[in-house]
Amino acid sequence: MTTMKLVFISLLLLSTAPYASLALRTQLHSLSESSNSKNYLTTQELWFNQTLDHFSPFDHHKFPQRYYEFLDYFRISDGPIFLEICGESSCNGIVNDYISVLAKKFGAAVVALEHRYYGRSLPFKSTTTENLRFLSSKQALFDLAVFRQYYQESLNLKLNRTSVENPWFVFGGSYAGALSAWFRLKFPHLTCGSLASSAVVLAIHNFTEFDQQIGESAGAECKATLQETTQLVEERLASNKQAVKTLFDAAELEIDGDFLYFLADAAVIAFQYGNPDIVCSTLVKAKNNGDDLVEAYAKYVKEYYLGTFGSSVQTYNQKYLKDTSLNKHTGDRLWWFQVCTEVAYFQVAPANDSIRSSKVDARYHLDLCKNVFGEGIYPEVDATNIYYGGTNISGSKIVFANGSQDPWRHASKQTSSPDMPSFLISCHNCGHCTDIRGCPQTPLSLEGNARNCSSPEAVEKVRHQITEKMDLWLSECRAGSWSSIFSKSSTNSNRSLTTKELWFNQTLDHYSPFDHHKFQQRYYEFLDYFRVPDGPIFLKICGESSCDGIANDYIGVLAKKFGAAVVSLEHRYYGKSSPFKSTTTENLRYLSSKQALFDLAVFRQYYQESLNLKLNRTGVENPWFVFGVSYSGALSAWFRLKFPHLTCGSLASSAVVLAVYNYTEFDQQIGESAGAECKAALQETTQLVEERLASNKKAVKTLFDAAELEIDGDFLYFLADAAATAFQYGNPDKLCSPLVQAKKDGEDLVEAYAKYVKEDYVGSFGVSVQTYDQRHLKDTTLNENTGDRLWWFQVCTEVAYFQVAPANDSIRSSQVDTRYHLDLCKKVFGEGIYPEVDKTNIYYGGTNIAGSKIVFTNGSQDPWRHASKQISSPDMPSFVMSCHNCGHGTDMRGCPQSPFNIEGNARNCGSPDAVEKMFSSSSMKCIARMIVILSSLEPKCVANGSYDQTCFIYSPNVTFSLNATANYNEEQEELKLLTSSTSPDVNLLYCRSVSGL
């Protein structure tokens, strides 16, 4: 990573391949040819097939990706697996650096994956801008997740075992250090922790701190000499540019900005990689002797930067960067593409007291991006920082290590916390990735030897701290034992807090490096209960239907209680938030949960800024809490998982977080909820319907007013859903009572069931038979029922949830099987459309989701609860309600859910006490947990203020700032918050169940 030119190249410094800087790549290239080289643990190449576009709902193309493994130190029974992340250069083996020392200590296997596009992991035969559309950190992180699963399975196969999960720990330096931190952030279920060495997690447009650090590290005398040298070079460029460029062997750099960038990097590299005296001694001596400073600097550049260090002048030539052919220097163009589309890191001259030329400014960088890659190519820095959190990254179990002289540390996390410790190594020649590579980093220091550092004890202290964290987190990992949802909206104003539409411009494809298209997305806000200025903001997530307002359900009660603003964003494609005028399969390529989550992140930032503008303030961050039910409940949990820096916590009601291919548990739960008598009646009804379909299908379909359903599978699915909905939405007696009575009276069960379907399912509940007709699902025009096609697309590409008949004791017809669902997907959307369930569960973790501060609630009769998280943990409490008619989203919507219950009334539930317990004992735990979260546990969510005495008992009008832990007494329904408040009036706060909660 010298400067932007792949100064990141420093990566070589860290893990696998000679991921030094691009410059180092040249130096170490020959070493990779020999597997016996002492600089590598291994250079034996291995390959596997990687998905090309992880964010396309239907593109299944693959490319071969290179990786390496080293098992010499592996403790086979329970040893960890160290995943060394390769960065922005060719990955030619696993480097013998300090990670090998750690591997030996912990008995670890070491694996390293080459970054897509770099080295030999090439998806295309040329690097045109169009061909680079799948080159991004977001795709690379998903590569690591897929590889992690692939390698664990292949290792199990090699060791003749099944389902074993070794503890995994990830390592990376520089850009790969950022990937290491981001991997732990986005895929916490796949790793026990992360070492992020010199990790550049903050994307920056104008990175002036870079040069400021060079000046600070250089010291006054060397800094002044460097500045004078730059000034002299600029003067000679003005009078005879050919002569001065030739002096540096850089005549090929026709653009002055390229030449001046080259000279700036040459100085930077000395400080970045632990050799400050090489440049400073040379220049200061020349200055003191009255020698020509430009000539002295040219000597240093040619002998050290181009010679010993191995950099190439060509790297800085924009003509060369335009070359789209594949060659050993292709990495230069690739890294610039990532710089120009994602992270920037534009090392520009500060306004005052700069070392580099002021001509190396933001305009130079933006012109380079446009000149090399074409119009419309620029870095969306804000989007990158929204996605990852920048230095406010909110992962856990990540160690950040930085050298005190490293200019890149200002793009890293330097503020420590228990979950994310950060260390600075203070010594004269401790720079980029010193914790892993030792001092100096050229020539390569085997096993990261620290003896050549000016303060070896400083390096060893940091290494000891890193080892302590690894030991703790790996032990915790082992102890932790690794081993239809369609909703209908109503615009009836008395059922809504608001129906006033608001709009903003949303990015169409969040995962494209260069597509900046926008579309109009609808949202709503309700501010009547908002406590200005510090009230929380409740983000109510809309799901797979038109979002026509903010419903007046139990979230309204909570909003009033907490003084919260309520906002709600319509899901992309649904309702009026349609990016296209038709829903062809091709046009649906941006419809996915992954895009929808990023929508929420962008909206969250947009709304916070617009609220600040409305309140005439700047930089204020209100506490945010997210809510969702069913699919949107999954989105709520996944949002907290993937964007923890943007929310204090999440309520995931009936959240279907597990993608399931053959969801037989769905029907099994229907049978259990129905009870023996009703279940038997339902099974007999299904059998009778199948018999009549065989003899006179038109008659039986007409009986159900469903003659339009020509495909028998569609008809049988319609009948199965009609039964399931009664249990799912809290109306079991409406189905079971008439059906059981008909059986007892000897009446025709099929006719009795048809009466229920027509009167209740189609009539009261409002379902349309057309929803089940595959001909209707093929309709690509926009209309009020378009949501049916849209949700099936998500089902057919991401989550499946195929409700199929169990092999035995099924209620639904056995004809509603996997083949039926797959045929539907193919007929409606075309060849190659099927759900990659494993990929979805790798991305989110399924029921092993490893987010924090997420509350999962489920009804005990809800057939969807088996796709939700039901096992509780301190970080992710999960509750199941036990009552006769408690089903899907009962905690938010009450009973029954049809007709709609304003404010989620629980009095009609079979066991109101079970629901109230969710909002008293269990719920007070949840709500008090929310208060703790909103008040203290997130750095961005610290709130100063006093709360309503009905919830908190304390001296009136006391203002406090919580830094709390919580003890909960189940019997007394009391949560005690132990605070570190210095106020004598506020030492113990209590939260009790309150009538009306």
Q: How does DSSP assign 698-755, residue by residue?
A: HHHHHHTT-TT--SHHHHHHHHHHHHHHHHHTT-HHHHHHHHHHHHHTT--HHHHHHH
Q: Angle at CA 323, nearest 5°, toward 321 and 329?
A: 70
The confidence score (pLDDT) of residue 901 equals 57
The catalytic position among 37, 56, 121, 174 is: 174
How many CA atoms within 13 Å lie on the side-chain side of 135? 29
Q: Find tokens 């091709």 and name the residue.
A: 586
Average pLDDT score over residue span 180-201: 98
Active site residue 329: no
CA dist 863 to 486, 597, 900, Å? 14, 25, 20
Options 432, 645, 821, 888, the catalytic residue? 432
**What is the average per-residue pLDDT within 937-958?**
30
Do you know the residue count of the chain?
997
pLDDT of residue 989: 32
User: What confidence tens digit (pLDDT) does each residue in 97-134 have?
Assistant: 999 999 999 999 999 999 999 999 999 999 999 999 99
Q: How far is CA 272 from CA 42, 392, 407, 670, in A?
A: 27, 24, 7, 63
- Catalytic residue chosen out of the listed positions 97, 265, 406, 788: 406
CA 529, CA 556: separation in Å to the nearest integer?
9
- The arithmetic mean of pLDDT across residues 798-824, rounded, is 96
Residues 157, 425: Cα–Cα separation, whole Å: 42
The helix/strand/coil state of 685 is helix
Pick from 960, 968, 948: which is nearest to 986 by CA? 960
Inform me whether the pLDDT recorded for 752 exceeds 70: yes
* Per-residue pLDDT, 5: 39
Is position 432 annotated as part of the catalytic site?
A: yes
678, two tokens: 């009703």
pLDDT digits (tens, 9 = 90+) for 849-881: 999 999 999 988 899 999 999 999 888 998 887
Phi, psi at 975, each rounded to 5°: -115, 125
Span of 130-139, 470-479, 513-522, 569-578 with lowest mean pLDDT: 470-479
- Mean pLDDT value of segment 224-244: 97
> Between β-strands 988-992 and 502-507, what pairing exists: parallel, antiparallel or unpaired?
unpaired
Please say if the pLDDT value at position 655 is more than 70. Answer: yes
Residue 270 has pLDDT above 90, yes or no: yes
Burial of 271 (C-beta count, 10 Å sphere; 0-12/13-18/19+): buried
CB atoms within 10 A of CB 857: 28
Other Cβ atoms within 10 Å of 741 Cβ, number: 12
How far is it, in rounded angstroms, from Cα 993 to Cα 975? 9
Say how far apart CA 236 and CA 746 lie, in whole Å.
105
Residue 419 pLDDT > 70 = yes
Report long-range pairs for 123-131 (Cβ below 8 Å, ≥24 apart). 123/52, 123/63, 125/326, 126/324, 126/325, 126/326, 127/324, 127/325, 127/326, 127/330, 127/333, 127/334, 127/337, 128/324, 129/337, 129/373, 129/374, 129/377, 129/514, 131/324
Q: How large is the angle between the packed helices 208-218 and 256-272, nearest 10 degrees?
A: 50
| Residue 927's pLDDT band (cuts 50, 70, 90) | very low
The answer to whether residue 969 scores a pLDDT higher than 70 is no
The number of angstroms, rounded, from the C-alpha of 977 to the middle of its chain's C-alpha atoms is 31
Distance between CA atoms of 691 and 708, rounded to whole angstroms?
19
pLDDT above 60 for 195: yes
From the CB of residue 936, how many other CB atoms can be counted at a distance below 10 Å?
21
- The per-residue pLDDT for 938 is 34
Strand 649-653 to strand 624-629: parallel, antiparallel, or no bridges (unpaired)?
Answer: parallel
Bridge partners (DSSP) of residue 196 are 172, 400
Tokens standing for residue 925: 């735990």
CB 87 within 8 A of CB 174: yes
Q: Is the pLDDT higher at 892 or at 336? A: 336
pLDDT of residue 10: 34
Tokens linked to 18? 């000679």
Angle subtended by helix axes 276-289 and 208-218, to nearest 10: 70
CA angle 267, 270, 275 (to 5 degrees): 150
H runs (alpha helix) in 328-455: 330-338, 362-373, 381-388, 434-437
Q: Look up the pTM and report it.
A: 0.86
- In terms of Cα–Cα distance, which of 643, 660, 572 is closest to 940? 643
Taking the C-alpha atoms of residue 972 and residue 979, their distance in angstroms, rounded to an integer, is: 20
Provide the residue type at 815 as one letter. Q
Mean pLDDT taken over the chain: 86
154 included as an active-site residue: no
- Annotate 147-206 with three-state secondary structure: HHHHHHHHHHHHCCCCCCCCCEEEEEECHHHHHHHHHHHHCHHHCCEEEEECCCCCCECC
